[in-house]
Structure formats: structure tokens, C-alpha cells
Structure 1
Amino acid sequence: MRVIVVGGGIIGLATAARLAGRGDQVTVLEKEPDLALHQTGRNSGVIHSGLYYAPGSLKARLGTAGAASMTRFAEEHGVAVATTGKLVVATGADERDRLRVLAQRGAANGVPVRELDPVEAREHEPDIACVAALRVETTGVVDYRGVCAVLARQVGEAGGTLLLGRALRGARTVGTQVRVDVEEAGTGERHDLVADALVVCGGLHADRLALACGVDPGARIVPFRGEYFDLAPEAAARVRGLVYPVPDPRFPFLGVHLTRGVHGDVHAGPNAVLALAREGYRRRDVVLRDVLDAASWPGLWRLAGRNLVPGAAEVARSVSRTLFAASVARLLPGTTADDLHPAPAGVRAQALHRDGSLVDDFLIRTGPRQVHVINAPSPAATASLEIARHVEAELDRTIGSAVRGGA
């Protein structure tokens, strides 16, 4: 079967490698001049355990399985990886109940979790402040760009083709074929490619690409910029592994946390502020179309109305390094603004329903001979090999349905 896979991030590449490995003739289209330049290459590098997600959800099932499969994949292919474990710490008495709920959720998802008192927590992280903590041993860190390099190589070795600088502009299913409109970067020239099936892993542009292919995405992508800092060497030396706060259930993000990466650096972040461009990695990045898309979606205003206080705190932390340092100091006392060195930001593609509710799980939509990954925020990188299996099953199902329907 001839399959075109759109997207050179980790989900697109994992899917392409899986399909090529089973014998499909795979072509990968990526609009950028290189792979993994957006969400995949701009995250914290964490292999998540599956702790946070609603039991039975795709995030829980694929994330928990992905923690094991991603670690195994990296080890087998010589990609930098370490299973460091992490602490989730309650810094105030009001967070104890949320910590217990988190422990129960982890247990329901099959994640090995231990509840610790402050003395036990300091055995893992001597300089961390807390009144209670959870220890999760299966969390780790990995070089996701290194993983993508291996996946791209697997695609090529299986006879697949990677086309960089090629953007999807639309597609239509005609009988047993999908005709894909492709634009070449630089020249703007457009031509059609023909395949038996199309898989789109469009990340920050997933909703637009689905619509351009005649598939209802079911939600709108709204971009949130996550800003990071690297800790100065003296502060970094006080962090052994990964330290997370207890997440605020009112907000979709995990909060500012500390991560020792595979190369020994320690970064703090991210916060989460509305970006004024889908690829808006700097505050000054503004794309009018992206602003209008977000502002015209009722869901954004409803989400903002329900999260005025935490949203305002995120904006304040974005413009004040002192406030950002204060958030870090709740976990690592004594941290000051001088300990924070700016690091590259990322942008999270968050899908929102019209009513303002978050698309909390992975969201995959299908059309005739098409599969579109619409919502794939964290832990999508962790779960990418498992998401690829799921997409493969969805693709086979939609092809089978088309055959049965006489398409």
C-alpha cells in the first residue's frame, strides 16, 4: 500500500517507520528543512510514566505503555536515555489531598508510585522543600531528536522516502486513491502526489490540515507558549533528577518543574501563555491569521473566563524573571532570578472544544482513506511508538471500511 505521512515530528516518523517496516511504500512530507523542529524538538525531554491521566483514556493506556517502549527503543538504538525517577512534591498542606488523588490515579494506571514523607523525599532530593511527595521510578529522560534520527533512518532502510521542504496544502479521496496537493518551499510550486492512504500528524496545524483534506477536526488548535530557563551550575548541582509540583486541576499544564536532562543540564519550566502565532517561540512573534483563529473561537474566551487567576499568574511569570524564580524556589528554596538563564521556548498545540473544555485526551479523526492526529500534547512524545500502533490500526480500519463500502 502506498501511504503518504505528513509531519516530520516524532509521531509522524514513528508512524512512518511502523508502516514502512511492515512493507508499505511510505513517503513522508515535512514542510521544514529538517526534522523535529517544533514540539518534538522543543520539549523537556521527559519520558512520562502515565501518572496524571484519566484511567482508561488513550493517554493513560498509551502513555504507560510508551514509557516502557520508548526507553527500550532508545537503549536498543544507542540514543541517550536515563531512567531517573521523579518526585512530585506538595509544598503546602492544601496540596496533600491532590497528591493522594494523584497516587490513586497512578495506581489505577499501573504506575509504581510510593508516598513519601519529607525525610524520605530528601533522600532522593536533599535540597527540595515539601510536606509530602510521591516517588515515581519509571519516569526518565531521553534525546527525542536522537529518537527521530533513528526513526527516519528506519524509514529509509525500509524503502521509504523523506521529502523535506514539502507542505501539504490539501487532499481529496477519489475512489481508491488519495490525491495530495503539495507545495515546495522556496519555489511555491505545487503538484499532486497520489497514494492509497494519507496519515496527517500536523501538530500545531493539525486542525487546518484536516479541514483542507475534507475532515472535520472536531476542535480548534490554540497555541500556548511554554518558556524555559536553564539553571546556573551552582543551582543545577542541587537537583539530582526530576522534580514536579502537584498540578493544579483547574489548568491543563503541569506547572513549572525541574528536569535534569540526558546531557546533565537542568532546566526549569515551562510556564504557559497564549502565543500570538502557532509557531510563536518569541513574545514578538505575531501572525495575524493565528491571532484571528484563536480570538474567533468561542472556546478560548470560555476557557479564559474560567481561568482568570491562574492565567494572569502565568502571564506575570512570563514577563518577570523574579516571579518565575519564586515559582522555582517553592520547589528549590534559595533560587533567585540570577540562577535562571533563558533557554529556547516551545509551543504546545492545545485543542479546545467550542464550549471551552479542553480536549484532554489524544484525538484522532478519520475520513475515507485518511487518518488525522488532531490533539497530541504531552505525553505524546513518550507514547509516540504506541500512538503509531494505534494510527496503524485506525488506518487499516478506515481502508477496510472504504473497501467494504465500495470506495
Structure 2
Amino acid sequence: MAVAAALDALAGVDPKSIDALAFATTTAPYREKQSATTIAAALDLPAEIRTSETGGTLRCGTSALLGALDSAAAGRRVLVTAADCRLGAPSGANEQTFGDGAAAFVLGDQGVIANVLAQASLAREIVETWRDAGDPYVRNWEERFGLTQGYGPAVAAVAKQVLKDAGLDAKGIAKLVLAAPSEKVHGATAKSLGFAPDRVASLLVDRVGVVGCASAPMRLAGALETAKPGDRILVIDYGEGADALVIEVTDAVASFRPRQGLAKQIDARREIDYGAYLRWRESLEMEPPRRPDPRRPSAPAMFRNYGHNLGLKASRCLKCATVQFPPQRVCWKCKTRDEREPYALRDKPARLSTFTADNLTVSPDPPEISAVIDFEGGGRMIGNVTDTKLEDLRVG
């Protein structure tokens, strides 16, 4: 999800111009291995960039943004991406409201569509929402305690401070982006801050869910998609304290065209049943296939193939311009040996050449669909098809 959001943010941006990458998540796939380097490899960012990772709190998304602002002020161009995939215990309230999501931003001094007028932060030690090292599910203390002693006072204090620093009041804000654990809390808190419902960005619980550290960043991205020059946006995020930013939209927003954007992503969503959800979450054990277990690739093999496995890099022959994927030393067309250059397929349009459905392979979303695609300009790839239904596929 972080890679997909970053690709959207990088539309029209040269990846080689990125100086740093900051990744925020509370659900990193590894406890000891940086995921930011994996994201950088998938995006084909320069190897010399600075990568960093933040987590441990639901406001790590805005914390990463605030940290990146310091780097941007020093002249660096920073890509910030936040993503979360939290688990609530089956049949619990968290399972009903949690969602998965990601958002990404490019910070710098080129093509700026919004400037930060003021920022404020507040730290408040409290145990209300947590997950120990061995916990698969998020746990919560009694809701009223967290709201009255944590969320409410922290949000009110940081909102007051950031508006004071910006020289504004609630009437000077066009849109409020507020992180909250539920629609009820979201509406009540916005009202207490002086915002009418039409000036509050939707929490999207009914369409996306509460997406952890990506909640405030995602809805900020959505607010920017519909913002007008001169609009001011107040962003408030919460997690053992609070972060707040006041952002002013520039004239450049008129030419801002995200590749997908939040609205398109939501409209393209697909409903699944509860059994499929449990399979995707690996909360429901599936019968293994009656086949030998697949061999796990070795670390050296993965290292050699990161270029095409993560970054979709092919090779192009320097003699006849034939594109081959995966990269090959010998051109199949002119038989030239070791005369090639890297060729990125990531942004190239492609057409579906053929596909097949496998009902025997164990999959959380059967059948498993494999396809062959041909890239514009050359190059062919075999892979799995996701986020679609078999009956919706067409060759072409």
C-alpha cells in the first residue's frame, strides 16, 4: 500500500530528485529490518537517499511529516508515506471499524501546492490503545477513560496552540482533518472545536475504516484534491499526545492531478465476505495444497533479482533496442552478448495478452489468476492478477 500511494504521489516527479524517504507504520512486516529500503527499491529511488522509519504510535504518520518538513526546509526533497494494516480481535469493535490504507506526499520547494503556516505537538503519556510484541490484535482500555483523559484534552490543547501560532481562529479554516477512533467522537470533537459538519473532512469509517497512522494523512490527501487556492486546512492527529498543522493551499493546486487519488481508490473498492477477510488476515487456517511445498528463495538469489522483482527493471539491447524481462545477458533477437542497459517498465502502459484461472492452488481469494502482459515499447511479464474478478478480465 505504501508503494502504491507513493507511485501516486510521484506522478510527474523524477524519482532521482528524491533525497530522502520517510515511512510511517505501526504494522511493519519485520521487527528487525527496515521496510523503507524495500519501498525505495520498488520505487527505483537513488541508492544514496536517506531512509527512515517511524512507528509505535497512531500519530507516527504526521510525526513523519513534521520531521520531513525540517529536511525540506534545508533544501531536500522528501517522500513521506504512511500505511497501516491493523488487526482487531474477531467479533470485536475494532474489527468492525479498522481498515487498511496508505497515503504519501512529496515535500520540497518545487511545484508546491500547499505551505505549512504553523505546527504544534503535545506529548501525553497514557495507556489506552496498545499492542505488545506478542499481541496479534490491538487492545484498548475502557473508551471513556481514553477520551476524557487522553484524546479530548490533547486535541483541544494542540488545536488552540497551532491556531494561535498561525494567527487564526476556527472561522479562518476551510477544512478540518481530524483523526478520531469513531464517527461519534469525530463529530463531537469537531463541534467542540467550532467546526460545522460541512467544514470537516469525512472520517470515512463507513467506506474505508479507521486506517491507523494513515488516517490523517489519507484524509489530508483527499482534502487537497478538492481544495481551492487560499484554502487553509487544519490537520490534527492523535496518539499518546497530538500533532497539528495549519496548511495554506497555493495557486499551484489548480494544476494538481493525482494519478489515482482518494476518491477513485474508494470508488474502485470491492466487497468481500467475512470468510475471505479472515483468510486474507491469516486468522483462518486453510487446508494446504496436495503438492510439495514451494522452495523458498535464498537471500543471495533475492539480492541478485531485486531490480526486476521489486523495481520492474528490464534490459534493453543497445544494438537492436529489444526489451527483455527479466533482464538477460544475451539478446534473443540479435544475439548480442552483454550489451544492454537498464530499462524501467514500472510506468509503461501494458496490455493483457492472455490469462488463466487456477482453482487448485490454495489462495485467500480463489481462483488464483495468472496473466501475461505486453508492455508498450517492448517487454513481456508473467504475474498474478489482484483486485479484480475473473469475469471482468478481457484480453486487450
TMscore range, shorter length: under 0.3
Q: Which has the higher strand share?
A: 1
Bigger CA radius of gyration: 2
Q: Which has the higher helix share?
A: 1
Q: Which has the higher contact order (CA 8 A, sep 6+)?
A: 1
> Normalized against structure 1, the TM-score is what?
0.25
> Normalized against structure 2, the TM-score is what?
0.25
